[in-house]
Structure 1
Amino acid sequence: MPYATAAVAARALLVSLPLLSAATPAPAPASAPASAAAAGWSAAPAGEGRPSFYAEGAPGAVIEDTVAVTNRGAQPLTVRLRAAGTGTDGLRVAFAGPADAGLGIPARTRAEVPFTVTVPADARPGDRVGEIVVRDSTGRESAVRLLIRVGGPQLAALTVEHVAVRGDRITYELVNRGTTALVPRLAVHADGVLGAVLDRAPRTLPVRLPPGRRLRLDEPWPDRPALDAVTVRLTVTAPGATEATGRASARFVPRGATAGAAAAGALSAAAVVAAVRRRRRRRRKPSRGGALS
């Protein structure tokens, strides 16, 4: 990742700050991490009142902005700049100045470093979230949030795939097939031979699924049946997306050959009982004339 050097990069603007009393250091911005603030420097978007970087652009666009690094200490400061975060995948972030060089900032001086964000021509619409990270020579860092919104039609589409029951866990995969990030909700239901054995109401999952991403998850089932044949159904929803459903079947039997034979017989008996119950319910239904059959 290219870095800016104050000595040679004409585009890195250095601005002297008023002299500060050594006994009364200036407070660092609230967004600066404690480690950077303790060192007497901070990083923020250039200009007033912006807590983070935000811009919109179509695929192929080149977006320009400036990061300001303020050295309020009495000693010179050397920092390096980089873009970080999985949300910036596909975006090209370049800072002013030669590559692989540090940015030297004199005492009580603010350096303003321009940078560009290039959106790939084939980028899918949606949000990209990352950070501009500034790191000094001692390892202290200050990170500023970077949000780039790529223009285009917004489509929410979600699928649930590869559902399986593995011991006391239900495994599955969520796939975001749309163009916008999704926060999914999951409902879990399972039916055994004699009726429902698991029914969990919809709940919001603690994940944020970017467009085009696949995420493997699992659902604990510690109180699963010891003896049953079940069908598990996962229902997943997200704002703006059509409901998605995935299913899997499993048989729970005790371990051992003898236990297995007994389990198979028990399952068959349970199936017969369930069939008889269904038949009795049908016989109790009134005919069109109102009489019972």
Structure 2
Amino acid sequence: MPSRPRVALCGAVLATAAALTCPAAAAAAPADRGWSAAPAPGAGAEPSAQDRPYFYLEGAPGTVMTDRLSLSNHTGRAVTVRLRGSGAGAWLALAAHEVRVPPRTRASVPFTVTVPRDAVPGGHPGTLVASGAGRAGRRIAVPLHLRVTGPTLSALTVENVAVRGRGSAAVIRYTLVNRGNTELTPRLAVRADGLFGPVWRRAARTLPVTLRPGRAVDLTERWPDPPDLDAVDVRLTVTAAGGAHASATASYPAPPWAVGAGALCAAVAGAGALLVVRRRRTARAGRGPGGDGADPGARPSGEEVADMTGELASTGSGARA
């Protein structure tokens, strides 16, 4: 790795070459503009507002690409600028990491970007950062947009779906995971079905998140007015561009007190029906000689049996006489 004096010397050589290439432009620059960093224009021209505002490079995994950064010193004193990359900028190799730019001079710093062989196709944003030393202590970040070409795959999953809370405080929690190699903007649709049919529907809408490949995000969805006495299946369906599609479900059961109340009501109804049948049988048996003249020891006739069976059926109870 080159030492600092050697790096400074390399920067000075580049700056001198730029000044010799365009001395008139360098001499004409105002002294109060400080120094600047921007993508280098073509044909040795001086950077201007019409030049590209960022670097854009595109290549397949394993490709090596080149470009140049322009450092312009508009002051009457020399400035020292340190350079580094971040994000996809970490894939670049600079000709110098520290450049000394003489007064009213422009330096052009070449660099290469080597796309890793295992890089995921798609966009990879980065930054080339220039920081001034000493009295020139300012910082300029030049955007670097790198696109890796190759076959793309859009895939995602929805995981860890759960319903928390009750009533107006019910919330659906879930996790979205980008399983593909492209950036995704997901859309979510929600449906809830109870024992007796649909309970809730929410049409698909775009979520306010952007998922990069391999990233996961935890999200929540408020459920207004869920039922108190129903067992509901909640289904989340997520889609995204490129054919990505996934769904998952969670259960929202009735609270324990509701289940107990239902069982108690059923038991009370059954007991009431049984009591009605027994009272009717007692009334029939009590009709003796002093009543309707029937013989207490006689067996019931077929008509009477049919009447009793009908009475049992009308109560809805499963009790036997």
Verify same fold: TM over 0.5: yes
Aligned counterpart for 2:36 among listed residues 42, 45, 60: 42
Query: Which residue of 178, 183, 186 maps to 2:185?
Result: 183
Matches within 5 A, 1:4-23: 7-9=8-10, 13-14=14-15, 15-16=18-19, 17-22=26-31
- Radius of gyration: which is bigger? 2
Corresponding residue to 1:154 among 127, 148, 152: 152
- Alignment correspondent of 1:116: 112
> 1:142 is matched with which residue?
140
Kept in 2: contact 1:93–1:115 (CA 8 A): yes
Q: Is the 8 A contact 1:3 1:80 kept in 2?
A: no
Query: Cα 1:169–1:130, aligned 2, differ >3 Å: closer, same or farther?
Result: farther
Deviation at 1:130, TM superposition (A): 1.5
2:252 pairs with 250, 253, 278, which one?
250
Task: Give the 3-state SS of the residue equivalent to 2:69 in structure 1.
Answer: strand
Contact 1:169-1:218 within 8 A present in 2 as well: no
State the AA in 2 paired with 1:141. R
Equivalent in the alignment of 2:217: 216
TM-score, normalising length from structure 1?
0.69
Change over 3 Å in CA distance of 1:70–1:20 after alignment to 2: closer
The amino acid that maps onto 2:139 is E
Distance in 1 (alpha carbons) for counterparts of 2:148 and 2:77: 41
Specify whether residues 231 and 262 from structure 1 end up closer, same or farther in structure 2 by C-alpha distance, changes over 3 A only: closer
Report the Cα offset of residue 206 of structure 1.
2.6
Instruction: Tell me whether 1:106 sits opposite 2:102 in the alignment.
Output: yes
Higher normalized strand content (fraction of residues): 1
Number of equivalenced pairs? 241
Structure 1 residue identity aligned to 2:222: W
Identical positions, percent? 48
What is the Cα deviation at residue 46 of structure 1?
Answer: 0.9
1:121 shift after superposition: 1.4
Q: What do residues 89-145 of structure 1 show as CA deviations (whole Å, max 9, x unaligned)?
A: 9x62221136xxx32222222221111211111222222111112222365322222
Match for residue 164 of structure 1?
162
Residue identity matched to 2:55: F
* Runs (5+) with no aligned partner, structure 2: 20-25, 43-50, 266-321
Instruction: List aligned pairs for 1:84-99, cutoff 5 A.
Output: 84-85=86-87, 88=88, 92-97=91-96
Matched to 2:216, the amino acid is L
Structure whose residues are more often helix by fraction: 2
Higher relative CO (Cα under 8 Å, sequence separation at least 6) belongs to 1
Cα gap change, 1:10/1:109 in structure 2, threshold over 3 Å: closer, same or farther?
Answer: closer
Length-normalised TM-score, structure 2: 0.64
Tell whether the 8 Å contact from 2:12 to 2:100 is kept in structure 1 after alignment: no
1:171 shift after superposition: 2.4
Amino acid at match of 2:103: A
Which position in structure 1 is the counterpart of 2:281?
A: none
Q: Which amino acid aligns with 1:59?
A: P
The whole-number CA distance in structure 1 between the counterparts of 2:181 and 2:52 is: 27
In structure 2, how many angstroms separate the alpha carbons of the residues matched to 1:235 and 1:203?
11
Deviations along 1:52-82, whole A, 9 cap, x unmatched?
1111222112221111122223333222222
- Report if the CA contact (8 A) 2:30-2:74 is conserved: no
Name stretches of at least 5 consecutive residues in structure 1 with no aligned partner: 27-39, 254-259, 270-293
Question: Which of 124, 127, 131 is equivalent to 2:123?
Answer: 127
Residue number in structure 2 paired with 1:275: none
CA RMSD of aligned residues (A): 3.2
Amino acid at match of 2:202: R
Instruction: Return the offset for 1:45.
Output: 0.9
Residue in 2 aligned with 1:279?
Answer: none
